[in-house]
Chains A and B, each alone.
Chain A
Amino acid sequence: MNSTPIDFFPIVIQFFVAAGFVGITMFATHFIGPKLNTRKKLKPFESGVQSVGNARQPFAIKYFLTAILFVLFDVEVIFLYPYAVNFLELGMSGLITMLLFMGLLLCGLIYVIRSGALDWE
């Protein structure tokens, strides 16, 4: 508990090392490497696929809804990992708590499906 500011000095060193590494590598590659700029090289990299059109386009709100629902239920899965690790220690009370948690989320899922948020057409 008792720590003086000097105990945090390694963190400062670590910070400078990290920042220095980034800075040095960026400048070094800039100066050392050969520069051959071609039209294709300067294009935005899109997983190796030829890029098509402009990225700033309006798209249907349905994608957004699907994405946000995905995030919601994806985050829920994260809570299952620590529970799986501690499954035996938590015992019956842990199971009930977890079932309650999943049950509440299931209510949300039922609401989402029944209210037609996932209907594409």
Chain B
Amino acid sequence: MTLRAIGITVRFDQRLILDDVDLSVDDGEIVALLGPSGSGKSTLLRVIAGLLRSESGMIRWDEQDLTALPPHRRQIGLVFQDEQLFPHLDVAGNIGFGLRMAHVPRRRIAERTDELLHLVQLEGFGHRSIHELSGGEAKRVALARALAPSPRVLLLDEPLTGLDRELHDQLVVELAAILRSVGTTAVHVTHDVDEAKAMADRVLTMADLCRERPSA
């Protein structure tokens, strides 16, 4: 099973943000995408998630064409840089959100939520308000929430940017371990070379994505 983005082009204000970009990620593979800010990494993730339409190009999951599907039918998870936790729900409510959308039975949701709280080492945090979480805890909840519905691919949009050095380094190790233990396919966007190397099976730069093109 392979995720493929083929010939993605995005223009904004007459400026080319992505110019005919290709990316392919194999099953269970963790790819890190490196590039300076403004190079279109986040834009590419949003095209893959379906939040943003590209001018041309195609998103495929094996033989299935996802290009026309809205984000909620793609089963592609996204961890936002600023978490975007729901302020009106507690930690458990946030983690169980995707399962509720899929009408999973309540008991199963509770089990799965506990599983994920354990995975991200936040046991007992279920009823905490998200306003009480520290920066690192909020990141873990965001990761657990994205993993809960078992997405085909997990996209991570600079999830560790903006943390202080010590916490950052600790979370890199944890995050890498969690992604490996779950065995999920993931695309991790960052501008930190060390982070990319620590996380990924394969490190690509935005420039690589253009060069993968057969014709060029």
Q: Do A and B bind each other?
A: no
